[in-house]
Chains A and B, each alone.
Chain A
Amino acid sequence: KNEVEQSPQNLTAQEGEFITINCSYSVGISALHWLQQHPGGGIVSLFMLSSGKKKHGRLIATINIQEKHSSLHITASHPRDSAVYICAVRGGGADGLTFGKGTHLIIQP
């Protein structure tokens, strides 16, 4: 079974700061997902990666398959970015995702 570790678990930053959230996993994967969840709410898929780098607005996600590591970056952070960010990986079969424990991000004005 894949072990997914995220760091940090909690992060508080000031508006405008550059944010990095890290994810590492133990076993080879077919894809890695970055997800966002607001308090009490559903989950929004931000990125699905199998290699390289993706960018969407102020969000950038990278993955290094050899090192089994991915990062999510937020540029020019804003209070509306406050949420839990979850890394999840998919193995090679028709199964669901294995989730990390999430990073609770708070951006203060």
Chain B
Amino acid sequence: DTEVTQTPKHLVMGMTNKKSLKCEQHMGHRAMYWYKQKAKKPPELMFVYSYEKLSINESVPSRFSPECPNSSLLNLHLHALQPEDSALYLCASSQDWRRELFFGEGSRLTVL
């Protein structure tokens, strides 16, 4: 299994909603990442988890809250988002920080 699975593929939410994005991998990877990608732009790093501990938070607003409940799962909890947060959210994993990254298909988020 060489897949990173992201759910849901599409999410539409209002500014007062609370929702979560989920990412799962069963490759035994110990580093997991959240990236945000706006249209026609390169991905921007949001968070890095290494061995289930948050190692990097790229000054992301607190309305985005990451969680790594175990080595296979990475969640991104969303609350009180703004329309400008609409984007493709990509999850990635790697065996460790030195190794090749594997990306999921992304969750396309629209905030109304």
A95, CB-defined interface residue at 8 Å: yes
Number of A-B contacts (CB under 8 A): 56
Most buried by A among B35, B50, B56, B101: B101
Query: In chain A, what residue has the closest Cβ to B99?
Result: A48
9-residue interface stretch from A11-19, A64-72, A73-81, A96-104: A96-104
Contact yes or no, B100 A101, CB < 8 A: no
Per a CB cutoff under 8 Å, which of A40, A45, A94 touches B101?
A45
Also in contact, A94 and B48, with CB within 8 A (given A48-B100, A101-B42, A102-B42) = yes
Given A93-B97, A95-B56: A45 in contact with B102 (beta carbons within 8 A)? yes
A97 to B98: give the CA distance in the assembly, Å: 11
Give the distance to chain A from B25, nearest Cβ to Cβ, in Å: 13
A-side interface residues, number (CB < 8 Å): 23
A95 touches B42 (CB 8 A): no
The reply on B81 being an interface residue by CB < 8 A is no
- A94 interface neighbour in B31, B90, B102, B106, Cβ under 8 Å: B31
Label chain B's interface by main secondary structure: strand
Other than the given A93-B97, A96-B33, A99-B44, 20 more pairs (CB < 8 A) read A30-B98, A31-B98, A33-B100, A33-B101, A40-B88, A42-B105, A43-B92, A44-B103, A45-B100, A45-B101, A45-B103, A48-B99, A86-B42, A90-B97, A90-B98, A94-B55, A94-B56, A96-B35, A100-B42, A101-B42
* A-B CB contact pairs (8 Å), 12 listed: A41-B106, A42-B6, A42-B90, A42-B104, A42-B105, A43-B90, A45-B101, A45-B103, A88-B42, A94-B48, A99-B44, A100-B42
Chain B residues close to A by CB (< 8 Å):
6, 31, 33, 35, 41-45, 48, 50, 55-56, 88, 90, 92, 97-106, 108
- Interface residues of A, Cβ cutoff 8 Å to B: 30-31, 33, 35, 40-45, 48, 86, 88, 90, 93-97, 99-102
